């Protein structure tokens, strides 16, 4: 359901416009393949929180098979990746995993994802390029 309802970015130009045009809200883009089970699970969660975060974040989906322009630039080699942008700037978050550029595992908890998005938004509003996640994922066995 989530991958049907949430807006898709069909081309690299659409991805650029989504990142460039949003001045006040955080842009959250899920890169992956719409038919992948991990993406389907994550899309459901993103769909469920979209209404709750609409005041400070906008959520988009981007299929890596359809738009491959960013695969090398953003190192999109995982099955599912979520990236954050604010005012045309890539926002990084320290999850404790060593990769601060993106979130590349499926989150199952709605509140956990909302907290991450809210933390990144608050840091972005203060001019920070790197924020620390509200939860440390370094001790988790499987991301």
Q: Which residue from 91, 99, 111 is spatially nearest to 138, judged by alpha carbons?
A: 99
Is 65 among the domain residues? Answer: yes
Q: pLDDT at residue 4 above 90?
A: no
**Distance from C-alpha of 87 to C-alpha of 8, rounded to nearest angstrom:** 20
What residues contact residue 5 under an 8 Å CB cut-off, 6+ apart?
47
Count of domains forming the chain: 1
Is 5 among the domain residues? Answer: no
**Whole-number pLDDT of residue 98:** 85
Phi and psi dihedrals of 85, rounded to 5?
-135, 145
Phi and psi dihedrals of 98, rounded to 5?
100, -20
For the segment 20-68, what is each residue's pLDDT rounded down to a tens digit?
999 999 999 999 999 999 999 999 999 999 999 999 999 999 999 999 8
How would residue 1 be classed by pLDDT, with cut points 50, 70 and 90?
Answer: low
| pTM for this model (two decimals) | 0.92
Q: Are 91 and 129 in contact (CB under 8 A)?
A: yes
Q: Report the CATH number at residue 68.
A: 3.40.30.10
Is 1 among the domain residues? Answer: no
Domain that holds residue 103: 12-132
Q: pLDDT at residue 142 above 60?
A: no
């Amino acid at each position: 359901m989530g991958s049907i309802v949430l807006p898709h970015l069909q081309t690299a130009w659409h991805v650029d416009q989504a990142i460039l045009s949003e001045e006040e809200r955080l842009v959250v883009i899920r890169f992956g393949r719409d038919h992948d089970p991990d993406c389907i699970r994550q899309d459901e969660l993103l769909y469920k929180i979209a209404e709750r975060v609409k005041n400070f974040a906008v959520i988009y989906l981007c299929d890596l098979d359809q738009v491959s322009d960013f695969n090398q630039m953003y190192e999109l080699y995982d099955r599912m990746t979520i990236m954050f942008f604010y005012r045309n700037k890539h926002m990084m978050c320290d999850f404790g995993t060593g990769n601060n550029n993106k979130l590349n595992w499926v989150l199952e908890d709605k509140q956990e994802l909302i907290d991450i998005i809210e933390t990144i938004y608050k840091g972005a509003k203060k001019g920070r390029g790197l924020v620390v996640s509200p939860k440390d994922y370094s001790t988790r066995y499987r991301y």
